[in-house]
Structure 1
Amino acid sequence: MTLNKVHLVGRAGRDPEVKYFESGKVVCNFTLAVNRNTSNRDEPPDWFDLEVWDKTAEIAANYVKKGSLIGVSGALKFDRWTDRNTGDERQKPVIRVDRLELLGSRKDNEAASGGGSGYDDDF
């Protein structure tokens, strides 16, 4: 048995960037800042790169803004590439989101249909 599941709650670090493909697919990328559960308020947050696809990407593009409080569930993957300048192999961790929760208030998320609603790729 294998398991690759990530659950995070934090604030969007920037507005989502959306790309539409000729195939009809949609991808949305943005960052998530997650504070550690510690008493030290001066500790910086952990930052995660998020990748969201299809209908969930459209929801994120329409309702998530920089600073929005959201929850995500997904899988950890690694983007790999070759550095053009050095030829070195590079990689970075990315959370492939399959479920998005808008946790802030309607005002916080600028969402007409409300925070707290769950959206995932299956609808």
Structure 2
Amino acid sequence: MSINIVTLVGRVGGDPDIKYFESGSVKCRLTLAVNRRSRNRDEPDWFTLELWDKTAEIAGNYVRKGSLIGIKGSLKFDTWSDRQTGASRSMPVIRVDQLELLGSKRDNEGGGGDFSPENF
């Protein structure tokens, strides 16, 4: 048995980066800051999120820098070869399956809600 589920709540670090592909697919990448409690102060951990298709479109329309969101997804690693050195590189990415807008209507320009692809 194996489980790969990530659930996070935090604030978006910048406006979504949306890409449209000739195949009709849509991809959105954004960063999420999640506070990690420590004895002296809260320290943010930064995560890169990847959303696809309907969820990506919703993020592009409703999510902005500073928005409070909740996500559920899975952890994956993007890998590539460095162009200058040829060394293998990798970066953890959260592949989002479920997106929830948690801020006020003013924060999200449209209110909160469960924006899973199956709800559309």
TM > 0.5: yes
Secondary structure at the counterpart of residue 115 of structure 2: strand
Asked whether the equivalents of residues 77 and 94 of structure 1 are also in contact (C-alpha less than 8 Å), the reply is yes
Tell me the equivalent position of 2:8: 8
**Secondary structure at 1:62's aligned position in 2?**
helix
Task: Measure how far apart 1:36 and its partner are.
Answer: 1.1
Deviations 1:24-74 (A, max 9, x none): 100000000000134533x43000000000101011000000000000000
Q: Which residue of 2 aligns with 1:62?
A: 61
Q: What is the aligned partner in structure 2 of residue 84 from structure 1?
A: 83
Tell me by how many angstroms 1:120 deviates.
Answer: 1.4
Which residue does 1:120 correspond to in 2? 116
Give the superposition deviation at 1:121: 2.5
Runs of 4 or more consecutive aligned structure 1 residues displaced over 2 Å after TM superposition:
37-41
CA RMSD of aligned residues (A): 1.1
- Which residue of 2 is the match for residue 19 of structure 1? 19
Structure 2 partner of 1:37: 37
The structure where strand makes up a greater share of residues is 2
TM-score by length of 1: 0.92
Structure 2: runs of 5 or more not aligned: none
Residues 86-101 of structure 1 aligned to structure 2 (within 5 Å)? 86-101=85-100
Q: Is the 8 A contact 2:37 2:43 kept in 1?
A: no
CA deviation map 1:64-100 (0-9, x unaligned): 0000000000000000000000000000000000000
Identity, in percent, stands at 66
| Alpha-carbon distance, 1:110 to partner | 1.7
The amino acid that maps onto 2:117 is D
Q: 2: CA distance between counterparts of 1:78 and 1:34?
A: 19
Q: Secondary structure at the match of 1:58?
A: helix
CA distance 1:39–1:63, change in 2 (3 Å): farther
Q: Distance in 1 between matches of 2:76 and 2:69?
A: 20
TM normalised by structure 2 equals: 0.95
